[in-house]
């Protein structure tokens, strides 16, 4: 079984480079590195940030995928008029840390440090799902950095009351059962919780379930070698 992401990712990365953005790793602190997709000229002028008339836009991904796989089509539509920055949050994509923190505050602080090192002084932020919570934290902690913000499918903060009410509504006992299913069939819950029959055709949900199961099987086979 072939892991489709090993085929798709190089193609996506090639398209992104043609669109004018390229991956660039930023050391936040020793042991903590964040990967950003940034305008190509930012990397080619590391010692002297180029001036640009394009306003910076930061796209923050959710829990399901890394930055560029989440925002592929938005990047293609925005790069002509905006300086687009797409981070991989820590523990996603090529971003790593040896620190034990897992909070939204920690993510926001590292993201802010990375943007500042890239020369971004003020920007618009777009956050989706988990990335929306990071966006809210970023705006709260660094109001001078965030000029405007768009958030979709998220809440300002996942409090215990919101968490318990949401889990009860979805029919799960904890978030790991939804986001980190232990068996292939358990991935059904992820797609069922994120879509409704009224807006998502049955064949689409079925296709997503099959796709998820194939990826899980491929991943298990790869880990067995």
Give, in order, the Cα–Cα distances in Å from 37 to each of 58, 89, 90, 101. Answer: 10, 12, 14, 24
Domain boundaries, the chain: 4-158, 171-225
**pLDDT for the residue 212:** 52
Do residues 222 and 5 make contact, with C-beta atoms less than 8 angstroms apart?
A: no
pTM of the entire predicted model:
0.78
Give, in order, the Cα–Cα distances in Å from 149 to each of 36, 83, 88, 124, 161. Answer: 19, 15, 18, 6, 25
3-state SS, residue 182: coil
Please state, as a whole number, how many other Cβ atoms lie within 10 Å of the Cβ of residue 147.
15
Give, in order, the Cα–Cα distances in Å from 10 to each of 21, 48, 135, 170, 211. Answer: 14, 30, 28, 35, 19
Query: In this predicted model, which residue has the larger pLDDT, 134 or 210?
Result: 134
β-strand partners of 59:
126
Whether 40 has a pLDDT exceeding 80, the answer reads: yes
Please give the share of the chain, as a percent, with pLDDT higher than 70. 73
CATH of 4-158, one of 3.40.50.1820, 3.40.630.30, 1.10.260.40, 3.50.50.60: 3.40.50.1820
Whether 222 has a pLDDT exceeding 90, the answer reads: no
Tokens representing residue 150 in the block = 């768009």
Whether 81 has a pLDDT exceeding 50, the answer reads: yes
| Local confidence band at 184 (pLDDT 50, 70, 90 cut-offs) | low
């Amino acid at each position: 079984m072939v892991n489709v992401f090993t085929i798709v990712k190089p193609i996506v990365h090639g398209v992104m480079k043609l669109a004018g953005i390229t991956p660039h790793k930023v050391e936040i602190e020793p042991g903590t590195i964040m990967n950003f997709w940034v305008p190509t000229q930012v990397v080619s002028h590391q010692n002297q940030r180029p001036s640009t008339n394009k306003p910076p836009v930061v796209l923050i991904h959710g829990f399901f995928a890394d930055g560029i796989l989440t925002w592929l089509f938005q990047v293609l539509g925005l790069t002509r008029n905006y300086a687009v920055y797409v981070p991989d949050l820590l523990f996603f994509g090529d971003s790593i840390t040896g620190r034990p923190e897992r909070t939204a505050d920690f993510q926001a602080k590292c993201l802010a440090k990375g943007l500042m090192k890239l020369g971004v002084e003020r920007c618009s932020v777009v956050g989706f799902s988990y990335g929306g919570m990071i966006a809210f934290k970023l705006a709260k902690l660094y109001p001078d950095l965030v000029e405007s913000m768009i958030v979709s499918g998220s809440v300002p903060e996942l409090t215990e009351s919101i968490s318990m009410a949401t889990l009860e509504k979805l029919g799960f006992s904890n978030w790991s059962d939804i986001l980190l299913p232990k068996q292939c069939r358990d991935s059904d819950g992820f797609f069922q919780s994120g879509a409704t029959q009224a807006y998502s055709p049955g064949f689409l949900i079925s296709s997503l379930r099959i796709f998820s199961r194939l990826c899980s099987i491929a991943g298990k086979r790869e880990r067995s070698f």
